[in-house]
Structure 1
Amino acid sequence: MVGKTNSTSTSHKNVYSLASGSDVSKAVLDLVDAAQNLQKNPANIAIVNNLIDKLKDLLLLERQTYALMRQNSGSRKKIESMFNLIQFLESQVRRLENAVQRQGLSYYLASISSKIRGNEVGRIGRSMETELQSWLDQECVREVADIAIKGSDEEEAVRIITSFEKIVQKGYNPLIQDTILSVGLVEKIVGLLVPGAAPWKVTEAAALALSALLDFNKNIFVSLVLMAKMVENVLQLMDLESDDHVLTLISVMKNMLLVGETIVADEIYAKDGIPKIVELLDHDVQDLQLEAVECIFMLVYYGRVEVVNELFQLDVIKKLALLQQKNAEKRHLPASVMCEMTPAAGASYHLVLTKLQEDIDGTGLHPFADAVSKFILHLSVGTGLRRREKRALKQEFLRQIREVLEDDTEVADITAEVLWAP
């Protein structure tokens, strides 16, 4: 996501060097380099002109191929985008040539550091570079769409999809968004998450790219239909993949919850995903347990009453208590401290998470320490429940902790905490 299409003079090769297999992309990359050099020396305008001529030849080949093969609308749009890019570049070259003719090339060459030369040539070179980089970003979107439809070499597919992920991570850009929507990219990438649709590395790259895309513009890309399909595919993959892969998938699920909030919590519940997440608490890999605990806290924070009730029915309080007890260095936070660290009701999940992490870091507690207390904290300040639902669920929580916790002092502290919580 390229916030207003910022110039990326130092990073474009890192992003595209492995993903620019086509002659067109290579020609545009060469033009990016030429535009950068043009800002240093206007005499390089001849190189720019030669590269534009090369791009014109490639455009002619694209048109001939399209005329013969009658390819899809994506090919036509690519041709249109190339034509528009060439027109823009030629207009910028004419501007520079006119400036050179007015002042004389020798004047420009003799005054490399002059304000006039720096402003005029630099502005033209930067505008060309920015437009070229924008075209490359949009072309990457189109390449990902082609991969999802036609398939590709595994390594190439991973590289191109990863390049797309880096683009959307830059920030919102309306041109990138329009290109994503015009090629129907979201649905196509979601299709790569279907078990068996692609090798794991491609599936993983697609999942991470989708996760980044949700952050790109959640108002557009977080929808009930999209979330339902993503949740379904991720949950199915969790049944089939190895522990390392499940770790990636649960991380993607957490980001989906963070962005999609109650919509995603509802879908996890509807697709019978809550038992799969709770089962990870019994796993012998601590990283998976930690990811599951965090995911459960998010479900409590964003989930409706049905979600929290199912967590209670699956003995999640007992499982969290066991994780606490296995922590040999566990030191329970007194209720007074927990009340001080409790954010106001309705606080953003980022605030809750940040505050909890600060207190954990400050006290040197094990990551599973006070897992039960944190559960009720997320319930108390969460956004998915009505006030009366929270009151009823707190009573059920208190009933369960009296059954599962052996330490009367800890029970008393947590009870006081629940009573004082918002």
Structure 2
Amino acid sequence: MEETQENSNKSKLLESLNKASKDLLTKPIPMYTYTNLAAIKTFQELHAELDPVLTTDPTLSNLSQLVSNLKTQLNNLQNSQGHSLKSFVRRRIVDHEISCIVASIDVEVQAWINRETIRNLVRVLLDSDDEEEKAKALTRFEKRLSSGFNRDLQELVLKAKVFSILESMLSESKCSIRVFEQSARAVVALVKFNKDVFVGQVLMGPIVRNLVSKASHGSIRVLSSLVKLIKSPLVYEMEAQGYIPRIISLLYSNDRSIVIVALDCVFEIAFFARKEAVEAMIEEGLIKKLVELQRLEIEGDSIDGGGGESRGICEETEEKEREMGRRERGLMEEWPFASCVTRFIVQLEMGDGLELGERRELKQEILSRVREASVSDAEATAIVSEILWGSSPLLR
């Protein structure tokens, strides 16, 4: 624990050093005087605080040398403030040297933080029994990945076999739901980080099966995110392994939050599903369940459409569009099951998995199932009309 705290403090100091060195370049150096004195003072204070750390940690030897070189160049710059041509040229040369050193410091700091992040993550996940510590390490790892692709970081991840460790966390029955879901989000972050490397590992491993089996709010949200990222290959795998009916079964849960995320997952799957998969979804009673969910929701015509006629033509078009976007997102949050049959069909029609003829055929089949599932002619007419004409404000 003491080592973890020490490295955490060291990481904060190095990030402060990185910022302070970059601040030296935020103001252009004038022709005759260097006026960024506040940045120089901050750098010097941090250098004094960090010097014992830099000189005693072998992994920071390169960074220690760079910081020393930067301090030397700053002194050279301040000593080259004459009005002669020679002083002017020298300032330009030193300015260039400072820029190069600052860039190298950034690389060294990021490399150290990457190494520490991966080392700490592996240590905590493999050796610690503290669930809170595991969750925090996973959160730091996910944040690090979100900063963008970095080849050195990828090499560290692969060498440490981080993906395999995360797989084991998602297979471990004793793992808390918090750590399970945070591990799953870390997998999503890895796929975003580099699809070429990590998509194949997701498809070939047990991760999808474990997410479906866990059937928690967080695990199904992660599954939806993976479908968005991996698209058709993941949907094909889910179809082949029989996972799609299990997602549909979650629509019958007594937990409303589970039903909501399961419905979102069904919509994501529909966008990439082939005809055979959609037919299987229909045979599983999906349309009947969507009609039931829609029946439980507030009727579409009771939702305020925004008073388009009374508002007239708005001159501030962009603001109006933003407001409409906020209103529709609010409607979706407040009435998550509204127009769900139509939304399912929209996903099929806009998706990548079906040919034009297949879309038409399946749409007719869905319309037939809607009529069968409706409790009255009025309900059937309302839903069919919405499908054919898109009358819901959620779909405009």
TM tier relative to shorter chain: 0.7 to 0.9
From 111, 119, 141, the counterpart of 1:164: 141
**Residue 304 (structure 1) aligned with residue 279 (structure 2):** no
Contact 1:193–1:206 (CA under 8 A) maintained in structure 2? yes
Identity of aligned residues (%): 26
Residues 200 and 293 of structure 1: CA distance in aligned 2, closer, same or farther (over 3 Å)? closer
What amino acid is aligned across from residue 86 of structure 1 in structure 2? S
Counterpart in the other structure of 2:248: 278
Counterpart in the other structure of 2:258: 288
- Displacement of 1:408 in angstroms is 4.0
- Displacement of 1:330 in angstroms is 0.7
Unaligned runs of 5+ in 2: 22-38, 83-90, 303-323, 391-396
Residues 409 and 228 of structure 1: CA distance in aligned 2, closer, same or farther (over 3 Å)? farther
Residues 126 and 222 of structure 1: CA distance in aligned 2, closer, same or farther (over 3 Å)? same
Q: Distance in 2 between matches of 1:19 and 1:267?
A: 45
- Displacement of 1:310 in angstroms is 1.5
Say which SS state the counterpart of residue 198 (structure 1) adopts. Answer: coil
Contact 2:188–2:222 (CA under 8 A) maintained in structure 1? yes
Please provide the CA RMSD for this pair: 3.8
Counterpart in the other structure of 1:378: 347
**Residue 315 (structure 1) aligned with residue 317 (structure 2):** no
**Residue 87 (structure 1) aligned with residue 62 (structure 2):** yes
Contact 1:145–1:185 (CA under 8 A) maintained in structure 2? yes
- Displacement of 1:152 in angstroms is 4.6
Q: Distance in 1 between matches of 2:343 and 2:67?
A: 59
What amino acid is aligned across from residue 112 of structure 2 in structure 1? W
Contact 1:192–1:198 (CA under 8 A) maintained in structure 2? yes
The normalised TM-score by structure 1 is: 0.69
Q: Distance in 1 between matches of 2:11 and 2:343?
A: 53
Using the TM superposition, name which of 226-235 and 204-213 deviates more: 226-235
**Residue 55 (structure 1) aligned with residue 57 (structure 2):** yes
Q: Distance in 2 between matches of 1:363 and 1:288?
A: 16
**Residue 331 (structure 1) aligned with residue 306 (structure 2):** no
Q: Distance in 2 between matches of 1:54 and 1:198?
A: 38
What's the CA shift string for 1:4-39, capped at 9, x where partnerless?
xxxxxxxxxxxxxx9970655544543444565674
- Displacement of 1:49 in angstroms is 3.2
- Displacement of 1:359 in angstroms is 4.8
- Displacement of 1:53 in angstroms is 1.4
**Residue 401 (structure 1) aligned with residue 367 (structure 2):** no
Residues 191 and 306 of structure 1: CA distance in aligned 2, closer, same or farther (over 3 Å)? farther
Residues 20 and 36 of structure 1: CA distance in aligned 2, closer, same or farther (over 3 Å)? farther
Contact 1:224–1:263 (CA under 8 A) maintained in structure 2? no
- Displacement of 1:301 in angstroms is 0.9
What's the CA shift string for 1:155-185, capped at 9, x where partnerless?
2221111111111223333332232223221
What's the CA shift string for 1:278-297, capped at 9, x where partnerless?
12222222222211111111
Q: Distance in 1 between matches of 2:241 and 2:226?
A: 15
Contact 1:186–1:210 (CA under 8 A) maintained in structure 2? yes
Contact 2:15–2:109 (CA under 8 A) maintained in structure 1? yes
Q: Distance in 1 between matches of 2:130 and 2:381?
A: 60
Contact 2:63–2:109 (CA under 8 A) maintained in structure 1? no
Residues 415 and 101 of structure 1: CA distance in aligned 2, closer, same or farther (over 3 Å)? closer
Q: Distance in 2 between matches of 1:363 and 1:27?
A: 45
From 242, 245, 252, the counterpart of 2:222: 252
Residues 409 and 385 of structure 1: CA distance in aligned 2, closer, same or farther (over 3 Å)? same
Contact 1:402–1:411 (CA under 8 A) maintained in structure 2? yes
Residues 301 and 51 of structure 1: CA distance in aligned 2, closer, same or farther (over 3 Å)? same
Say which SS state the counterpart of residue 368 (structure 2) adopts. Answer: helix
What amino acid is aligned across from residue 308 of structure 1 in structure 2? V
- Displacement of 1:94 in angstroms is 2.4
Counterpart in the other structure of 2:187: 210
What amino acid is aligned across from residue 61 of structure 2 in structure 1? I
What amino acid is aligned across from residue 49 of structure 1 in structure 2? D
Q: Distance in 1 between matches of 2:172 and 2:189?
A: 21
Counterpart in the other structure of 1:30: 13
- Displacement of 1:102 in angstroms is 6.7
**Residue 21 (structure 1) aligned with residue 4 (structure 2):** yes
Using the TM superposition, name which of 314-323 and 121-130 deviates more: 121-130
Q: Which has the higher contact order (CA 8 A, sep 6+)?
A: 1
Contact 1:207–1:252 (CA under 8 A) maintained in structure 2? yes
Contact 1:231–1:267 (CA under 8 A) maintained in structure 2? no
What amino acid is aligned across from residue 344 of structure 2 in structure 1? F
Q: Distance in 2 between matches of 1:190 and 1:19?
A: 29
Counterpart in the other structure of 1:12: none
**Residue 229 (structure 1) aligned with residue 212 (structure 2):** no
Say which SS state the counterpart of residue 206 (structure 2) adopts. Answer: helix
- Displacement of 1:154 in angstroms is 2.2
Counterpart in the other structure of 1:72: none
Q: Which runs of 4+ in 1 moved over 6 A?
A: 115-123, 355-358, 362-365, 416-421
Residues 125 and 359 of structure 1: CA distance in aligned 2, closer, same or farther (over 3 Å)? closer
Using the TM superposition, name which of 301-310 and 167-176 deviates more: 167-176
What amino acid is aligned across from residue 239 of structure 2 in structure 1? Y
**Residue 138 (structure 1) aligned with residue 126 (structure 2):** no
What's the CA shift string for 1:327-377, capped at 9, x where partnerless?
2x31269xxxxxxxxxxxxxxxxxxxxx99865757998321211111111
Q: Matches of residues 169-180 of structure 1 in structure 2 within 5 Å?
A: 169-180=146-157
Counterpart in the other structure of 1:76: none
**Residue 220 (structure 1) aligned with residue 222 (structure 2):** no
Q: Distance in 1 between matches of 2:269 and 2:17?
A: 51
Residues 118 and 28 of structure 1: CA distance in aligned 2, closer, same or farther (over 3 Å)? farther
Contact 1:211–1:255 (CA under 8 A) maintained in structure 2? yes
Counterpart in the other structure of 1:338: none
